[in-house]
């Protein structure tokens, strides 16, 4: 059953409750509401989740209060949505909607259903997912789309991390990239930054503060009331700094990957004059591991130089394959979606493994026209993989930017469609290129 956000529900019907709504009090204590059924939210609708769209809350997920949002649930007696504004237990203080923050490898199917007070700003840039209660267990609106062993929080923020960081900084005193990564590892708990010091898996190497896009959901440069959750790199590294970090990691790391284009930077291809010779030098000394770049792929001439230098994998961030919708989110400067396709074509023709980093949002990504456009884009550009990445953005903010539509198939069905594309791999993050051969 679907309701319009802020509008009238469909005609009343009796609805059997499968999942109960959760709410929190001022103390952060979480309770199930015994008479209110779970609703999830898409971009512009309340939805009653189906069983296959919910999974038990996975290890590594965090239950959180949704700031300043009252929970919205389903009155099973009349099939109408209802906003819970008073504590059912009679306690003083207000109540809050509850959501979950998922570990990597999981794609949410719905956001928490909630109503915010009129005097509040936008939600922080976090990937809130709807949660419900059933048979004594908490469930979350999500599906698993990748194996998440390497990205489980258990393997990060260990007691010995700071010692590892200090030891590395002492031996590479003048490398500004390492100092940036140390800051991100300790202050933002960035997993790719921490992996550089753990000497394993995918390690990030920030390389460029500037960008040729101004994405609505950028996590390091925001001009709206939500604010950026982290600081952006404030210097342009030199080639030797990139070589030092990259060579060290690939020579030592188990299943090593170095990735340019992190959350704390802009567009790495703009620094092609540094990255191309750095990649060449690294490859002269180290044969193994994967050299990856996360990019918007709009600066084709820079992409070509980096590809020619020996790039192994390229992950292209994309919100929509419809040009007008792409422009709304990415706000590209001096490039278009056609340039992105030209970059992809060049990379593919030179043996680079190309993935789309698809910014996924329930109620937008699963629109029929978006799915059709994406499948066509994947096929005509010979895309190897689609990585589903939950877009962390306030739904009211996004709804105010994109055209309204109700032709949604649901995230679960959308994933089923992608899985039917021959030769396409579905996942959530970058894997060593050797795994894909």
pLDDT per residue as tens digits for the range 377-406: 999 999 999 999 999 999 999 999 999 887
pLDDT at 36 over 90: yes
CA distance 350 to 257: 19
- pLDDT tens per residue across span 61-105: 999 999 989 999 998 788 889 999 888 887 778 899 999 999 999
What pLDDT score does 90 carry? 77
Q: Taking a C-beta distance cutoff of 8 angstroms, is the pair 61, 103 a contact? A: yes
Tell me the HSE value of 20 on the side-chain side, using a 13 A CA sphere: 14
Closest CA relative to residue 102, chosen from 390, 431, 415, 430: 390
pLDDT tier for residue 296 given thresholds of 50, 70 and 90: very high
Among 7-11, 27-31, 88-92, 293-297, name the most confident range.
Answer: 293-297
Q: What are the φ and ψ backbone dihedral angles of 276, each rounded to 5 degrees? A: -60, -55
pTM equals: 0.93
Cα(168)–Cα(318) distance, integer angstroms: 35
What pLDDT sits at residue 13? 38
pLDDT value for 335? 98
Give the pair of three-digit tokens for residue 91: 């306690």
Most confident of the ranges 75-84, 223-232, 297-306: 297-306
Architecture category of domain 149-436 in CATH: Alpha-Beta Barrel (3.20)
Q: Which carries the bigger pLDDT value, residue 179 or residue 117?
A: 179
Q: CA neighbours within 13 Å on the CB side: how many for 433?
A: 20
Q: For residue 229, what pLDDT is reported?
A: 75
User: From the CB of residue 233, how many other CB atoms can be counted at a distance below 10 Å?
Assistant: 21
Q: Is the pLDDT of residue 297 over 90?
A: yes
Q: How many residues does the chain have?
A: 437
**d(Cα 301, Cα 343) in Å, to the nearest integer?**
8
Instruction: Provide the pLDDT for residue 404.
Output: 86
Q: Three-class SS of residue 327?
A: helix
Residue 407 has pLDDT above 80, yes or no: yes
Tokens 């802009």 identify what position?
A: 266
Position 406 scores a pLDDT of 73
Strand partners, 138: 133
314/430 Cα distance (integer angstroms): 9
- Confidence (pLDDT) at 225: 56
User: Are 189 and 156 in contact, with CB atoms under 8 Å apart?
Assistant: yes
Q: What is the pLDDT of residue 419?
A: 97
Give percent above pLDDT 70 in the chain: 93
**pLDDT tens digit sequence for 147-187:** 888 998 889 999 999 999 999 999 999 999 999 999 999 99
Query: Mean of the pLDDT values across residues 365-378?
Result: 97
Q: How far apart are CA 416 and CA 261, in angstroms?
A: 29
Tokens read off for 164: 């590892």
pLDDT of the residue at 10? 44
Checking phi first, is residue 423 left (phi over 0); if not, alpha (psi -120 to 50) or beta? left
* Whether the predicted pLDDT of 232 surpasses 80: yes
Show Cβ contacts of residue 421 under 8 Å, excluding neighbours closer than 6 positions: 375, 378, 379
CB contact at 8 A, 46 and 40: yes
Is 50 exceeded by the pLDDT of residue 9? no
Residue extent(s) of CATH 3.20.20.70 domains in the chain: 149-436
Residue 13: alpha-carbon gap to chain centroid: 36
The H or E element spanning position 62 is strand 62-65
Q: Residue 91 half-sphere exposure, CB side, CA atoms within 13 Å?
A: 12
**Maximal CA-CA distance, the chain:** 70
Q: What is the average pLDDT value for the chain, to the nearest integer?
A: 92
Mean pLDDT across 289-312 = 98
Q: What is the pLDDT, as a whole number, of residue 226?
A: 57
The answer to whether the CB of 233 falls within 8 A of the CB of 263 is no
Q: What percentage of the chain has pLDDT greater than the value 90? A: 80
């Amino acid at each position: 059953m679907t309701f319009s956000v802020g509008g009238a529900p469909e005609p009343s019907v009796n609805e059997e409750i499968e999942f109960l709504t959760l709410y929190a009090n001022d103390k952060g204590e979480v309770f199930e509401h015994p008479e209110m059924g779970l609703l999830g939210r898409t971009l512009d609708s309340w939805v009653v989740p189906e069983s296959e769209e919910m999974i038990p809350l996975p290890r590594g997920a965090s239950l959180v209060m949704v700031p300043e949002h009252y929970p919205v649930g389903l009155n099973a007696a009349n099939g109408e949505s209802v906003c819970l504004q008073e504590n059912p237990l009679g306690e003083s203080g207000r109540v809050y909607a509850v959501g979950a923050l998922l570990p990597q490898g999981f794609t949410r199917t719905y956001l928490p259903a909630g109503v915010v007070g009129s005097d509040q700003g936008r939600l922080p840039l976090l990937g809130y997912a709807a949660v419900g209660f059933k048979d004594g267990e908490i469930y979350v609106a999500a599906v698993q789309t990748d194996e998440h062993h390497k990205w489980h929080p258990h393997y990060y923020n260990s007691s010995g991390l700071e010692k590892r960081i200090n030891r590395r900084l002492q031996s590479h005193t003048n490398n500004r990239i390492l100092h940036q990564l140390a800051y991100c590892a300790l202050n933002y708990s960035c997993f790719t930054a921490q992996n550089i010091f753990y000497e394993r898996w995918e390690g990030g190497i920030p390389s460029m503060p500037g960008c040729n896009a101004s994405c609505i959901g950028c996590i390091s440069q925001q001009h709206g009331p939500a604010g950026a959750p982290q600081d952006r790199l404030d210097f342009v590294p030199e080639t030797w700094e990139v070589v030092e970090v990259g060579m060290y990691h690939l020579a030592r790391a188990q299943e090593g990957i170095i990735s340019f284009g992190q959350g704390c930077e802009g567009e790495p291809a703009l620094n092609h004059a540094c990255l191309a010779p750095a990649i060449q030098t690294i490859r002269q000394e180290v044969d193994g591991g994967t050299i990856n770049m996360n990019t918007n792929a709009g600066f084709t001439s820079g992409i070509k130089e980096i590809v020619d230098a020996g790039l192994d994998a390229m992950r292209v961030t994309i919100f929509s394959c419809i040009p007008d919708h792409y422009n709304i989110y990415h706000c590209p400067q001096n490039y278009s979606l056609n340039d992105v396709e030209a970059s992809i074509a060049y990379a593919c023709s030179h043996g680079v493994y190309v993935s789309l980093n698809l910014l996924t949002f329930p109620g937008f990504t699963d629109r029929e026209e978006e799915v059709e456009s994406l499948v066509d884009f994947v096929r005509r550009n010979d895309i190897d993989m689609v990585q589903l990445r939950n877009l962390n953005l306030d739904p009211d903010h996004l709804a105010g930017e994109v055209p309204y539509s109700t032709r949604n198939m649901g995230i679960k069905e959308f994933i089923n469609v992608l899985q039917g594309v021959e030769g396409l791999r579905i996942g959530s993050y970058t894997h060593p290129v050797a795994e894909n051969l």
